[in-house]
Amino acid sequence: MSGIVCVPPARMPDKAGALVTLSGVQKDYHGLRPLRVQRLDLHPARTIAVVGVDEVMAEVIVNLITGAAVPDIGDVHAFGRRTTDIPDADAWLRGLDQFGLLSDRAVLLDQMTAEQNLAVPLSMELEDLPAPIRSAVASLAAEVGIEPLALTQVTSALQPRIRARLRLARALALNPRVLLAEHPNAALPAADLPEFAGHFVRVVSARRLATLVLTADRTFAVSVADEVLTLNQATGALTSVSGWRRWFS
């Protein structure tokens, strides 16, 4: 069955057990006002969408979560440790593997095939892929609905709907625990959104990922998220606007 159905808002889980927590965070990024987030918790097997966030603010939030930037005020905890306590670049890089980033900032190499692009996180041997890498790539592609024929095509020639799935597969390649999606549907035509949202929901549900979707598209947000939040940029309060959820066959 497909369509939109009204359901009661899901009960929020306890804050204990969150993989990522932002608490009392403020970060000046030279916008009209600093980024403020009073409280945000990301739990396994739960998708949170925050709507009304532009591309620059989305990048700042993701950088704070991954430890690429630190807050001016407040704390960000990821996997039980404050990001300000990460001791060095090597430790940061090891922790980064636990995040999957679905973003246009994760560059696709247009002159390479889709298969080679999917292999980038897994191997440096892109011209003649080893059999285990080729098998892993094929499994990732199947998981997100990329047909085998599309893997052989040059990435620049792929349709937007396939490129979106390719980015999703790339974000999953290292088996992350947390998926961070920055405007994941921005480049998709409206007609392709339901299909992509369906793949997105099935993948993150099957993997039981803690997922944060940052988007300006409320329709997409309610299609993929367990709870949709709006950010009051003046106070940092996150307010639930859930109550509608699109279910895909």
Q: Do residues 123 and 133 lie in contact, with contact meaning Cβ atoms separated by under 8 Å? A: yes
Are 118 and 240 members of one domain?
no
DSSP strand pairing (3-6 vs 35-42): unpaired
Q: What is the pLDDT of residue 46?
A: 97
User: Which of the listed residues 144, 174, 204 is the one where a domain comes to its end?
Assistant: 174
Angle between helices 160-172 and 193-207 (to 10 degrees): 10
- Give the CA distances from residue 216 to residues 58, 114, 213, in Å, rounded to whole numbers and listed in that order: 10, 28, 10
Q: What is the pLDDT of residue 247?
A: 46
In a domain, 48, yes or no: yes
**Which residue segment(s) compose the domain that 60 sits in?**
3-98+176-247
Q: What is the pLDDT of residue 126?
A: 86
Q: What is the pLDDT of residue 11?
A: 36
In a domain, 123, yes or no: yes
User: Which of the listed residues 124, 151, 174 is the one where a domain comes to its end?
Assistant: 174
Are 170 and 196 members of one domain?
no
Are 41 and 141 members of one domain?
no
Are 196 and 218 members of one domain?
yes
In a domain, 138, yes or no: yes
In a domain, 103, yes or no: no
Residue 79 CA to residue 2 CA, distance in Å, equals 36
Q: Give me the tens of pLDDT residue by residue for the chain, a chain 249 residues long.
A: 333 333 333 333 345 689 999 999 999 988 778 999 999 999 999 999 999 889 999 999 999 999 999 999 999 999 999 999 999 999 999 999 999 999 998 889 999 999 999 999 998 888 889 999 999 999 999 999 999 999 999 999 999 999 999 999 999 999 999 999 999 999 899 999 999 999 999 999 999 999 999 999 999 999 999 999 999 999 999 999 855 454 443
Q: What is the pLDDT of residue 156?
A: 95
Are 66 and 152 members of one domain?
no
Per-residue buried b or exposed e for 122-137, using 16+ beta carbons within 10 Å of the residue's own CB? beeebeebeeebbebb
Q: What is the pLDDT of residue 74?
A: 97
In a domain, 224, yes or no: yes
3-class DSSP state for residue 81? strand
**How many domains are contained in the chain?**
2
Are 196 and 154 members of one domain?
no
Q: Which CATH number covers residue 86?
A: 3.40.50.300
Q: What is the pLDDT of residue 33?
A: 86
3-class DSSP state for residue 115? helix
Are 29 and 76 members of one domain?
yes
User: Which of the listed residues 174, 195, 225 is the one where a domain comes to its end?
Assistant: 174
Are 207 and 140 members of one domain?
no
Q: What is the pLDDT of residue 12?
A: 39
Q: What is the pLDDT of residue 15?
A: 54
